[in-house]
Amino acid sequence: MSLQADLSVAAPAIPLARWADRQLRAMHATYGLPRIDGSALMGERGDHGGYVINGTTSAGIGGSRLMRTKDGGWFALTLIREIDRELLPALFGDAAVNCDDWTAIAAAVLQHDCADLVRVGRVLGLPVAGIDEIPASPAIQFMQRGPNRYGPNKDGPIRQKPLVIDLSAIWAGPLAGHLLWQAGMEVIKVESLTRPDLIRRDDPATFERINQGKASVLIDFADEGQKAALVSLIRGADIVIESSRPRALRQLGIDADALVETTPGLVWLSITGHGASGEPANWVGIGNDCGVAAGLTRAMADAGGGIGYVGDAIADPLTGIVAAREGLAAYQRGTAIRIGLSMSGITALALHEEQKHDRAMIDSELRAWGLASGCRFPPVSRREIQGTLQPIGADTERYLGAFERC
């Protein structure tokens, strides 16, 4: 039974918003990030979009569903890309399944065990999860290291305004870039000519909020000259943010480890669904299913809130905060490093830390959230837009032109 089915009543607090607020307060104190409220950051998209808690259907466009499996488990499947629906016959071993009908999909899920669906789904490249998973990778992995940017007689940053190249898309990576911009850095958002950031079209309000103030560069990754110009731009940067799987990054002509190894002080943030190395680096993860893989749905059920999604693609904002924190810390140290950030791992870490901080409170918040099906998301004080949103590609010539002419 839901706590409240009246859409005029707001949902309870978003679980883990207090954890997010503590991270943001620490970044304010340590790195001079403007004071940002954790609840606002976690809830502004849901509040602006009028999102409703939908239980086993994700908030917003409902692109992710939790469905019962043959063995009594619960399987999370996210379908926001057309290619994902095309892979469903292979997932179920059934060419006749209606890939456009969630009822038919749920019936197909019910014919399989959860672990089998997760295993096959990840091989196929689908964003999937089971509610009883343990994250495959640690939240943060310190990977390739390189030279320090500081000479023996220097301490502290040598660039007045550090340069950030944001190659990421959707929410987690761009949010990290946004927080670095808030901390006073110059941020360049790089998009593909053929595959621009999906939420530029699908969620323009969120896109503006987390990409305001950034320069906009548009790259034709089929053009070798433009790819070479981008690599030259990266060599002059302080921080790079990307969220590509290893094969996709190689196809872009970018070797992250080699760039870190040879570029003094370069901080490379690799945001992934489930880990930046080994087999998990090849798994696709989206905010909602990564939250499930982190154990949030199981924790809510154990707290008495039943089965459902927690928050709005909750792994995205949590990961964006941690990525910005790690980027700022690494930049101050000055040593080139590649840092892998697992969305499922970070969400699991946040849950674990919040349970240690105040177990009764987080259990109460999870229970209240799970019982609030039908309620709209809690209202928050939306942050004001402070910077200009550049037209797509407006700054391409400014940043890449000189390199292309070389």
Q: What is the pLDDT of residues 125-137, one digit of tens each?
A: 999 999 999 999 9
What's the mean pLDDT when you consider all of the chain? 93
What distance in Å separates the CA atoms of residue 332 and residue 310, rounded to the nearest whole number?
34
Question: Which of 253 and 174 is assigned the larger pLDDT?
Answer: 174
Residue 250: helix, strand or coil by DSSP?
A: helix
Q: What is the CATH number of domain 1-406?
A: 3.40.50.10540
pLDDT given for residue 402 in this prediction: 73
Q: Terminus-to-terminus CA distance in the chain, angstroms?
A: 66
Taking Cα atoms as reference points, which of 178, 165, 188 lies closest to residue 239?
165
pLDDT given for residue 8 in this prediction: 53
Render pLDDT for 113-165 as a digit per residue (tens, 0 to 9).
999 999 999 999 999 999 999 999 999 999 999 999 886 545 544 457 999 99
- The pTM of the full predicted model, rounded to 2 decimals, is 0.94
Render pLDDT for 202-250 as a digit per residue (tens, 0 to 9).
899 999 999 999 999 999 999 999 999 999 999 999 999 999 988 888 8
**Residues 249, 255, 257, 263: is their CA dihedral positive or negative?**
negative
Choose from 39-48, 237-246, 345-354 the range with maximum mean pLDDT: 345-354
Render pLDDT for 264-291 as a digit per residue (tens, 0 to 9).
999 999 999 999 999 999 999 999 999 9
What the block records as the tokens of 248 is: 């996709």
Do 239 and 271 contact (CB within 8 A), yes or no? no
pLDDT given for residue 1 in this prediction: 36
Is the pLDDT at 86 greater than 70? The verdict is yes
What distance in Å separates the CA atoms of residue 383 and residue 182, rounded to the nearest whole number?
12
**Confidence grade of residue 3 (pLDDT, cut at 50, 70, 90):** very low
DSSP 8-state class, residue 350: H
- Beta-strand pair 128-130/74-78: antiparallel
* 160-176 core/surface letters (b: 16 or more CB in 10 A; e: else): eebbbbbbbbbbbbbbb
What the block records as the tokens of 129 is: 């999860």
Is the pLDDT at 16 greater than 80? The verdict is yes
What the block records as the tokens of 395 is: 């700054």
CA distances from residue 200 to 43, 68, 298 in whole angstroms, order as listed: 19, 33, 33
Instruction: Compute the residue count for the chain.
Output: 406
Render pLDDT for 169-210 as a digit per residue (tens, 0 to 9).
999 999 999 999 999 999 999 999 999 998 999 899 999 999
pLDDT given for residue 2 in this prediction: 43
**Confidence grade of residue 9 (pLDDT, cut at 50, 70, 90):** low
pLDDT given for residue 401 in this prediction: 84
Is the pLDDT at 5 greater than 60? The verdict is no
